[in-house]
Chain A
Amino acid sequence: MSIVVEDFHKNYDKTIAVAGISFQVEAGEILGLVGPNGASKTTTLRALAGILRPTRGRIVIAGHDLAHEPIAAKAALAYVPDDPHLFEQLTVWEHLRFIAAAYRVRDWQPSALELLTQFELTEKRNALAAELSRGMRQKLAICCGYLHQPRAVLLDEPLTGLDPHGIRTMKESIGKRAATGTAFIISSHLLSLIEDLCTSVLVLHRGQQLLHGKLADLRREANRDGRQETLEDLFFRLTASPNEPVTVELVKGAEA
C-alpha cells in the first residue's frame, strides 16, 4: 500500500474538522477526493503531507509511519497545494535545483529539462517565480513535485489555472505515472476530472467519510434501481442527504 490512513481525526480546540476517516491507496491507484466546500479535503491532504498533525489516528506513506518516520515518509511524497506558493526570489531552474538537493536526486538536470519541456516551461527557465502567470506557477509546482519520482502524489485542485494544453499534459502525466506504480490522491471540485482519471473515489462531507469505493462500484450505485444517475447526480444526492444508506458493496469497499 502506498498510502494508509487509519481513524484520522483532526480537531481545532473544540471544533472537529475531521471525524475519523480511514482509507488506503494502492500503488498505481488514483483516488479522487471530493466533497462540498468545508468538507475538510484540504485538511486531509495537509495532514497526509505532514503539515498538520492528526489529533488521533495513523498515516502511513510508502510503508513509513508519518508520526515516527516523517523524513522517510515525506521523501516518498509530493504535495502540490491548490494555490502554488513559490519562492518568489528564485528562478524556475533554481526551484528544481533546490528540490533536487532536498530530495537527494542525483543527475537531476536531464529529468528537470524533460519536465520543463513537457510542461512548456523551457523558455521560462531563468524567469523569477514572481514573474510567472498563475498557470505557469501551477506547472512549476507540479514539476517540483514530480522531480524526485515520488511514490505518492497529493494534488489539490491540480487543473486550476492551466491552459488546455497544460490540462492535457497534466492528465497524461498522472496516467503515465500511475501506470508505473505511483499512487495519486486528487482533490477536486471538477467531477468530470474525477470521472476521467480516478480509479476510486472518497466522498467527504463536513469532515466525515461519506463514501469510499472503486469508481466502477460507484457507477453501479448510480445506476441502482434503474436510476441512471450521473456521478454528479450521485454526489448531490449523497451530500444533500448524507445519512442515506448506500449499497453493501461500497461500504465494503470503504472498509477494505
Chain B
Amino acid sequence: MDRALWLLYWLGLQSWLRRTWNSLRTWQGVVLAGFWVLFLGSCMIGWIVSRFVPNAQPQEFASDVTVSLEQVERVGSLILLGLCLLTFATTTGKGAIVVFLPAEIAFLVAGPFTRRELLAYKLLVVLWVFCITSLFWVFLLGFGFVLRLPSGPLPARYLGMVLAFIFLQLVALDLTSLAMVIGVRAYGRARKIALAILGVFAAAGVLYAIMILPNRGLGATLEALEQMPFTRALLEVPRWFIRAALAEHYWPDFVAWGGAGLGVNAVLLLLLFKLDAQYVEGAAVAGEQLYARITRIRKEGAGAILAKSSGTARSSLRSLPWWGGAGPVLWRQLQGMARSRTLIFVLVAALIGLFFLGNWLLKNTGAPADPASFSPLPLAGIIVLLSFLIPGMISADFRRDFDRMDVLKALPIGSAPLAIGQILAPVLCTTLVQALGTAVLAIRAGQSDVVIGLWTVFPLVVPFNFLLVGLDNLVFLLCPSRPVNVAPSAAQFSGKKLLLNMGKFLVLYMACAMAGGFAVAVYFLTDRLFGAAIAVAWVVLAAFAAGVVPLLALAFQRYDVARNRPG
C-alpha cells in the first residue's frame, strides 16, 4: 500500500488522540471519562473476582449463564453458515464493495492511487472496525451476565472472532467483485442456479427428516439434518472459525483452527485482489448516496430515511390564525412534516408496533381470559413510551431548523410565540399517534374498564408531551448538536449534553412526582373522585409545561447563530 495512505492512517490516529486529549481538558470530558472508567472498571473487577476468587459467584447463577462448548460450536457454525448463505442470496452484484466518503473521493479516488491500494486502504479500515467490534463481543460474551462462554484464553477468543468477521466480509466482497468481473447478468444467472440447487437439497433434507424420522422433535430433526454429508460439507469451513474462537488451549486447538481460518481468509483476500474489479465508480456513487442520506437524516430526522421519497407539493394545509405569530410557524412545521411523508411513516409504524406489542402484552398478562388479573398499566406505559420515541423521529422543531436559525431569528415574531409554534407540531403529532394507538389497544383489549381507564388518563399526555418536547428543545438550544453527528467536535459536546439530559429527566421526574402526589392527595380528599385527581395532575403538568416556554424563549434569544453552530 502507498506510504501516503499509511500517513493518512497515522494522521487520523494522531487527530483522534488530540481530540481525546482536548476533550479531557474540559470538565465535561472529565465527567464523561470518569463515567467510562467507573463502568469499565466495575466490569473488570467483577470478572477478576469471579475468575480468581473461587466460589465468589453463586453456583446456581453461574450455571444459568454459562453454556457448553458443544452448544456454542453447533449454534455458532449454523449461524455463520446461515449468514454466508444469506450474503450469497442477497448479493446481487449491483452494490458497491466499499464506500468512499466525499473527502476520499476528492483526495484518494482522484489521487494517484491504484484500485488495489485503495481497496487495501478501505479493508484496513474495515479490519479496524472488526477489531473494535470483536473486543465488544469478547467483553460481552466473556464477562456477560446474560450469556457467558466457557472459560478459555481470551486472546484466542478475540482473534477467532476477528477472523470470523473478516471471513464474512471477504465472502461478500468476493461475490460482488466476481459479479463485477463476469457481469451482473451472468452472475445473476449463476446465483439463481446455485440457489435453486441449494433449495433442492434443503427440500430433500426436510422430506428425508419427515419421512425417515417421523415423530421426532425439532431439535432432533435439526441434528439429523446436520449429520447429512451435504450439510456437514457446508458447515465444515464455518466450523473452523468457531473452533478457533472457542479454543480451550493455544496449542494445538487455536493454532490449528485459527491457522485454517487464516488460510481461508488469505485465499479469499488473494482472490479479491486477483479479480481486481472496477469498483471505484460504484464505491464513489455509493459514498455520495450515503452522504446525501446522512445529510437528509440531519435535516429531517431519523424517520425520513425510512419514509424515503419526499411528497409532492400538490396539497397544501390551510393557513392557521396568527396566534401572536405561533400560527404561521406551526403551519410551516406541519406543512413540512406532511410533505416529507415522515408523519405517515411514523403513524403506520407506531400503529403496527402497538398492535403487535399490545397483542403480546394482553396474552402474557392473562387478559382477556382473566380480566380480574389484568392491569392497563403496561399498555399505558407503551403509550407514554411513544412520547419519547416519536418527537425524535419527526424532529419538526428547533432541531430540524439548526441550519435555518438565522431565518427564524429574522422573523418579526416574538421569541415566546415562535418557540410555541416551533415545538407544537411534534406535540400534536405525538398526541395524535398516541390517541390512535390508545384506540387500537382499547379495541384489542375489548374490556370496558380498560378502555375507560386508558381514556381517562389520556389527557395527561398532552401537557406531558409539551413538557418533554420543550425540554428536548431547551437542551438543543443550550447545547446544539445535529441529530446525526459525524463531526469530530461532537465528542466535546457529549459530556455537556449528557448532563443536560440528566437535568431534563430530573425535571420530568419532578413534574410527574408532583402531579402524582397532588393527584393522590386530591383523590383521598375528595372521597376517591378519580376525575378530580386527573384534573389536578393535568394542571400541575400544564404548569410545568408552561414554565418551559419562557426558558425556551430566553434560550432562543441567547442562541448565537455565529457561535452556537451545531457540532
Contact A50 B7 (CB under 8 A): no
Assuming the contacts A71-B112, A75-B112, A101-B7, asked whether A51 and B103 have C-beta atoms less than 8 A apart, the reply is no
Q: Which one of A88-96, A113-121, A235-243 is at the interface?
A: A88-96
Q: Is A99 an interface residue (CB 8 A)?
A: yes
Contact A79 B11 (CB under 8 A): no
Q: Which one of B12-20, B62-70, B351-359, B516-524 is at the interface?
A: B12-20
Q: Which one of B75-83, B276-284, B417-425, B460-468 is at the interface?
A: B276-284
Contact B110 A85 (CB under 8 A): no
Contact A97 B489 (CB under 8 A): no
Smallest Cβ distance from A147 to chain B, in angstroms? 12
Contact B103 A88 (CB under 8 A): yes
Residues from chain B with a CB closer than 8 A to the CB of A51 are 105, 109-110, 280-281, 284
Q: B interface vs A, CB < 8 Å?
A: 2-5, 7-8, 11-12, 15-16, 19, 101-103, 105-107, 109-114, 278, 280-281, 284, 486-489
Residue-wise interface mask of A (121-155) relative to B, using a CB-CB cutoff of 8 A (1 in contact, 0 not): 00000001011000000000100100000000000
Q: Is A84 an interface residue (CB 8 A)?
A: yes
CA distance A98 to B3 in the complex (A): 10
CA distance A111 to B454 in the complex (A): 73
Q: Is A174 an interface residue (CB 8 A)?
A: no
Q: Is A38 an interface residue (CB 8 A)?
A: no
Smallest Cβ distance from B306 to chain A, in angstroms? 25
- Ordered nearest first, which 5 A-B pairs have the shortest CB separation? A85-B102, A101-B4, A102-B4, A89-B15, A75-B112
> How many A residues, CB 8 Å from partner?
34
Return the contact of A98 from the options B7, B114, B487 (Cβ within 8 A): B7
CA distance A81 to B11 in the complex (A): 23
Contact B488 A81 (CB under 8 A): no
Contact B107 A98 (CB under 8 A): yes
Scoring B2, B12, B106, B281 by chain A CB atoms within 10 A of each residue's CB, the highest score goes to B106
* Minimal Cβ-Cβ distance residue in B for A144: B107
Q: Is A206 an interface residue (CB 8 A)?
A: no
Smallest Cβ distance from A41 to chain B, in angstroms? 16
Smallest Cβ distance from B183 to chain A, in angstroms? 14
Residues from chain B with a CB closer than 8 A to the CB of A74 are 110-113
Residue-wise interface mask of A (71-88) relative to B, using a CB-CB cutoff of 8 A (1 in contact, 0 not): 110110101010111111
Scoring B16, B103, B114, B486 by chain A CB atoms within 10 A of each residue's CB, the highest score goes to B103
CA distance A91 to B22 in the complex (A): 15
Residues from chain B with a CB closer than 8 A to the CB of A103 are 111-112
* Minimal Cβ-Cβ distance residue in B for A131: B489
Return the contact of B489 from the options A71, A72, A87, A130 (Cβ within 8 A): A130
Q: A52-B281, A79-B106, A144-B107 are in contact. List 4 more A-B contacts (CB 8 A).
A: A85-B103, A88-B487, A102-B5, A128-B488
Assuming the contacts A74-B110, A74-B111, asked whether A85 and B105 have C-beta atoms less than 8 A apart, the reply is yes
* Minimal Cβ-Cβ distance residue in B for A72: B112
Smallest Cβ distance from B363 to chain A, in angstroms? 49
CA distance A98 to B486 in the complex (A): 22
Assuming the contacts A51-B281, A53-B281, A71-B113, asked whether A99 and B487 have C-beta atoms less than 8 A apart, the reply is no
Contact B110 A98 (CB under 8 A): no
Contact A89 B112 (CB under 8 A): no
CA distance A101 to B3 in the complex (A): 7
Residues from chain B with a CB closer than 8 A to the CB of A91 are 15
Smallest Cβ distance from B60 to chain A, in angstroms? 50
Contact B109 A102 (CB under 8 A): no
Return the contact of B110 from the options A50, A87, A88 (Cβ within 8 A): A50
Residues from chain A with a CB closer than 8 A to the CB of B16 are 89
Main secondary structure of the interface of A (DSSP, over half): mixed
Return the contact of A102 from the options B113, B280, B489 (Cβ within 8 A): B113
CA distance A72 to B112 in the complex (A): 7
Return the contact of A89 from the options B12, B109, B281 (Cβ within 8 A): B12
Contact B112 A87 (CB under 8 A): no
26 A–B contacts from the bound complex (CB under 8 Å): A49-B109, A51-B110, A52-B284, A71-B112, A71-B114, A72-B112, A74-B110, A74-B111, A74-B113, A79-B110, A87-B12, A88-B103, A90-B12, A94-B15, A98-B4, A98-B8, A98-B11, A101-B3, A102-B2, A102-B4, A102-B5, A102-B112, A103-B111, A128-B15, A128-B488, A131-B489
Contact B488 A141 (CB under 8 A): no
Contact A130 B488 (CB under 8 A): yes
Q: Is A70 an interface residue (CB 8 A)?
A: yes
Assuming the contacts A89-B12, A90-B12, asked whether A102 and B111 have C-beta atoms less than 8 A apart, the reply is yes
CA distance A49 to B278 in the complex (A): 16
Contact B114 A70 (CB under 8 A): yes
Residues from chain B with a CB closer than 8 A to the CB of A79 are 106, 110
Contact A85 B106 (CB under 8 A): yes
Contact B278 A53 (CB under 8 A): yes
CA distance A81 to B106 in the complex (A): 7
CA distance A226 to B20 in the complex (A): 68
* Minimal Cβ-Cβ distance residue in A for B2: A102
* Minimal Cβ-Cβ distance residue in A for B108: A102
CA distance A144 to B113 in the complex (A): 16
Smallest Cβ distance from A81 to chain B, in angstroms? 6
Residues from chain B with a CB closer than 8 A to the CB of A141 are 106
* Minimal Cβ-Cβ distance residue in B for A53: B281
CA distance A84 to B110 in the complex (A): 13
CA distance A97 to B113 in the complex (A): 16
Smallest Cβ distance from B298 to chain A, in angstroms? 14
A29-77 contacts to B, CB under 8 A, are 49-53, 70-72, 74-75, 77
CA distance A52 to B109 in the complex (A): 10
Contact A89 B110 (CB under 8 A): no
Residues from chain A with a CB closer than 8 A to the CB of B7 are 97-98, 101
Residues from chain B with a CB closer than 8 A to the CB of A72 are 112
Residues from chain A with a CB closer than 8 A to the CB of B19 are 89
Contact A87 B3 (CB under 8 A): no
Smallest Cβ distance from A207 to chain B, in angstroms? 17
Assuming the contacts A98-B8, A101-B3, asked whether A49 and B107 have C-beta atoms less than 8 A apart, the reply is no
Smallest Cβ distance from A209 to chain B, in angstroms? 22
Contact B11 A94 (CB under 8 A): yes
Residues from chain A with a CB closer than 8 A to the CB of B102 are 83, 85
Residues from chain A with a CB closer than 8 A to the CB of B15 are 89-91, 94, 128
CA distance A97 to B2 in the complex (A): 14
Smallest Cβ distance from A151 to chain B, in angstroms? 13
* Minimal Cβ-Cβ distance residue in A for B5: A102
Contact A99 B107 (CB under 8 A): yes
Scoring A50, A72, A89 by chain B CB atoms within 10 A of each residue's CB, the highest score goes to A89
* Minimal Cβ-Cβ distance residue in A for B117: A71
Assuming the contacts A53-B281, A98-B7, asked whether A88 and B106 have C-beta atoms less than 8 A apart, the reply is no
Contact B488 A88 (CB under 8 A): yes
